[in-house]
Amino acid sequence: MGVLSCNDEEKADGYGNFEATEITVSAESAGKLLFLTVEEGQVIEEGAMVGLVDTLSLFLNKQQLLASKETVFSKSGSVSSQINVLKEQLKNAVLEFDRVSKMIADGAATQQQLDRGSNQVEVLKRQIKNVQTQQLPIEKEALSFDARIAQIDHQIAQSTLKNPINGTVLGKFAEAGEVVAFGKPLYKIADLNEMLLRVYISETQLPNITIGKDVSVKIDSDDGMKAYKGTVSWVSSTAEFTPKIIQTKEERVNLVYAVKINVKNDGSLKIGMPAEMWIEKTETE
CATH architecture of 56-159: Orthogonal Bundle (1.10)
**Cβ proximity of 194 and 69 under 8 Å:** no
Q: CA 59 from chain center: how many Å? A: 23
No. of helices (H) and no. of strands (E), the chain:
3, 16
Residues 277, 96: Cα–Cα separation, whole Å: 98
Residues 285, 269: Cα–Cα separation, whole Å: 30
Q: CA 156 from chain center: how many Å? A: 15
pLDDT of residue 263: 97
In this structure, what DSSP letter does residue 42 have? -
What stretch of H or E contains 257?
strand 255-264
Of 226, 223, 216, give the one whose Cα is nearest residue 263: 216
Residues 255, 202: Cα–Cα separation, whole Å: 7
Of 151, 163, 189, give the one whose Cα is nearest residue 58: 151
pLDDT of residue 80: 73
In this structure, what DSSP letter does residue 279 have? P
pTM: 0.66
Residues 154, 233: Cα–Cα separation, whole Å: 38
Q: What is the DSSP string of 19-32?
A: E--EEEEE-SS-EE
Domain boundaries, the chain: 2-20+192-278, 22-48+163-190, 56-159
Q: What dihedral angle (degrees, nearest 10) is formed by the CA atoms of 188, 192, 194, 197?
A: 70
What sections of the chain are H helices per DSSP?
56-105, 111-159, 249-252
Residues 279, 263: Cα–Cα separation, whole Å: 14
**What is the 3-state composition of the chain as percent helix, strand, coil, each rounded to the nearest 5?**
40, 30, 30
Amino acid letter, residue 275? A
CB atoms within 10 A of CB 136: 10
User: Mind listing the pLDDT tens digit of every residue in the chain (285 residues)?
Assistant: 554 444 445 788 888 999 999 999 999 999 999 999 999 999 999 999 999 999 998 999 999 998 888 887 777 666 677 777 778 887 888 888 888 788 877 777 778 887 787 888 888 788 777 777 777 777 777 788 888 999 999 999 999 999 999 999 999 999 999 999 999 999 999 999 999 999 988 888 888 899 999 999 999 988 788 999 999 999 998 888 766 555 555 555 578 889 999 999 999 999 999 999 998 765 444
Q: Which fold has domain 22-48+163-190?
A: OB fold (Dihydrolipoamide Acetyltransferase, E2P) (2.40.50)
The verdict on domain 2-20+192-278 having CATH code 3.40.50.720 is no
- Give ∠ CA 92-112-115 in degrees, rounded to 5: 50
**Any bridge partners for residue 201, and if so which?**
257
254-283 burial, b at 16+ Cβ within 10 Å, e below that, comes to eebbbbbbebeeeeebeeeeebbbbbeeee
**Cβ proximity of 216 and 280 under 8 Å:** yes
pLDDT of residue 6: 44
